[in-house]
Structure 1
Amino acid sequence: MPKRSQFPDEQSDDGNFNRQEDAFRDWVRADGSSAYPAIAGRYHLYVCYACPWAHRIIIARELKGLQDAIGMTAVDPWRDDRGWAFRDGDGFSADPINDFQFLSEAYHATDAAYRGRFTVPVLWDKETKRIVTNSDDDLLRMFNSEFNAVARHPELDLCPVDYLDEIDRLNAIIYDKVNNGVYRAGFASEQAAYEKAVAPLFATLDALDDHLSRQRYLIGGRLTETDIRLFVTLVRFDAVYHGHFKCNLRRIVDYPALGAYLRDLYQHPGIADTVRIDHIKTHYYATHTEINPTAIVPVGPDLDFTTPANREHLA
């Protein structure tokens, strides 16, 4: 019996999920060296609270205090074959900038010949009326430094130069084995491809649990972008990846250090307000119909990220 895949253009013949590359990667520069200067009010961010890649940028915008400088609109977490849609609802809304009905309109306004998948986040330039970038990797760095002149918290450095090599090294591991690893397991269309993704996922989680048993944050004793990158997967893990994506060797709550670390980050000022478990569960369970044909959204699990983390004593 032929097997359907969530994104057939990103599925190999052997059942592996191979994520597409980001389509637009221009940069906003504070020094004026690009076509996009760092001006307050010029750019608008399109996101989805359900998407972990977009969630990273929502957190960075919140922590850096860029809410007044960069507007933001969230799409409906329920997605069909037309892609992300702008609708009014609880935590999402119609597009106030371009009156787009679908995010695809932003992509086609930028490149009429674009034929890839329409992804969030998107940074839109209101002056040139095109997408600057849909790369969350680049946006994390831009929001960290290029908009400091218009940020409420310019002193916060999520990517300190002294730790850049270690940040890049650990980012690559976490992306490959954890952030994208859960997707390679969940979207696998063959048993071997699924098992090939699950084994390194849990080996990496085991290693991270050991690492975090000795220090509060991943790198340098301070919050960095690497913590944000890991957080967005951990906060979704027990709610959707454990069951929906069959990543069920262990839950995050079963890890002593990782579980406490997740609660510690959730309780960091500004982060809890960026987490919408309702959006997350609606998106994964109701729109991945190749995985969950009934589109039934489970009522559980009962998650509590507010209990004390007790990690302040760690280095």
Structure 2
Amino acid sequence: MSKLPRSSRLASPVDTEAHGEYRIVRRPDDPRPLYRFTGHVDDDPQPGRYHIYAGWFCPWSQRVTIAHALAGLRDVVTVSYVDNVRDGRGWAFRERYGPDPVNGFTLLRHAYEATEEGFDGHVSVPALWDRDLARVVSNDFAGIGIDLATKFGKVATRVVATYPEHLRAQIEATDVTIDTPAKLTALDERLAGRGYLVGGELTEADIRLWVHLARLGPRLAEYPNLHRYARDLYRIPAFRDTTDFSTYPHPDWSLA
């Protein structure tokens, strides 16, 4: 057994020869969702109770870390990052971003197994950990982001209210997928003369679109309104400080 303090333990290097490639195992007879844990933040959350396991490379994690920053939760909900690469063991804690500061786990899988004995599902980030219950509350990235935006008003001062009640229906109805040129063109046209997607203010809809645009690379310049919009968002600290272009598909590209 290692003699290092628990909080200093790190996973061994990625080794696909020994551990294989990571695979998401789905069985046709298994009705459980891919993101299996869908709990929520307590209605009266206290500072220090929750922790977010995130990944710099992951758009779903970035949605959560942007929401976290805009909700003013830096001193209320802690955040740590897994390494950018994985083998069959899944995401791990290595020297690049340091050890797991909460549990001293070397693999994120250990958090899932502490929550569900014999866990056999997808080990994903982001994951919301509850220190009081010693378990993963949720790995449902959409639910985590909304909880961060709406549940902590008594213990934190928001920078921006990103999920205001009067705009929620519009936010949820806004299609921010950019998987075809047609969708990019439609979004580009929608943003002509507009600073934000919904209601003239910064909302969850902008967070959801940003994480895809930031990973689009040089192609973004083909859409002038989207390019301008993305550059404007990048000037906001919550967007800029949660972005590491070196971990994206176009690591030499930037909006700076």
> Structure 1 length as normaliser, TM-score?
0.69
Structure 2 CA distance for aligned equivalents of residues 11 and 303 of structure 1: 39
CA-CA distance at 1:11 after TM superposition: 11
2:244 aligned to 276, 286, 290, which one? 276
Quickly say closer, same or farther: Cα 1:142–1:115, change in 2 above 3 A.
same
Residue number in structure 1 paired with 2:216: 237
Structure 2 residue runs of 5 or longer lacking an equivalent are: 1-20
Quickly say closer, same or farther: Cα 1:8–1:148, change in 2 above 3 A.
closer
Structure 2 CA distance for aligned equivalents of residues 145 and 64 of structure 1: 8
Aligned pairs for 1:51-70 (under 5 A) are 51-70=58-77
Structure with the higher fraction of residues in helix conformation = 1
Is 1:103 paired with 2:116? no
AA of the residue aligned to 2:84: P
Is 1:254 paired with 2:222? yes
Structure 1 CA distance for aligned equivalents of residues 138 and 243 of structure 2: 23
1:24 aligned to 19, 26, 37, which one? 37
CA RMSD of aligned residues (A): 2.1
CA-CA distance at 1:152 after TM superposition: 3.0
Quickly say closer, same or farther: Cα 1:301–1:114, change in 2 above 3 A.
closer
1:264 aligned to 218, 229, 232, which one? 232
AA of the residue aligned to 1:161: E
Residue number in structure 1 paired with 2:182: 203
Structure 2 CA distance for aligned equivalents of residues 85 and 137 of structure 1: 23
Is 1:144 paired with 2:176? no
The runs of at least 4 consecutive aligned structure 1 residues that moved more than 3 Å come to 5-12
CA-CA distance at 1:140 after TM superposition: 1.3
Residue number in structure 1 paired with 2:207: 228
Aligned pairs for 1:275-314 (under 5 A) are 275-281=243-249, 302-306=252-256
CA contact (8 A) 1:87 1:93 kept: yes
Quickly say closer, same or farther: Cα 1:204–1:11, change in 2 above 3 A.
farther
- Give me the identity figure in percent: 36
Is 1:116 paired with 2:124? no
Structure 2 CA distance for aligned equivalents of residues 108 and 304 of structure 1: 38
CA-CA distance at 1:113 after TM superposition: 3.2
Render the CA deviation track for 1:78-133: whole Å, top value 9, x for unaligned: 111111001121xx120011110110011111011321121000110111110011
CA contact (8 A) 2:160 2:202 kept: no
CA contact (8 A) 1:77 1:280 kept: no
Structure 1 CA distance for aligned equivalents of residues 169 and 251 of structure 2: 37
Match of 1:95, SS state, is: coil
AA of the residue aligned to 2:162: L
Structure 1 residue runs of 5 or longer lacking an equivalent are: 13-19, 31-36, 182-200, 240-250, 282-299, 307-315
CA-CA distance at 1:21 after TM superposition: 2.9
CA-CA distance at 1:138 after TM superposition: 0.6
Residue number in structure 2 paired with 1:243: none
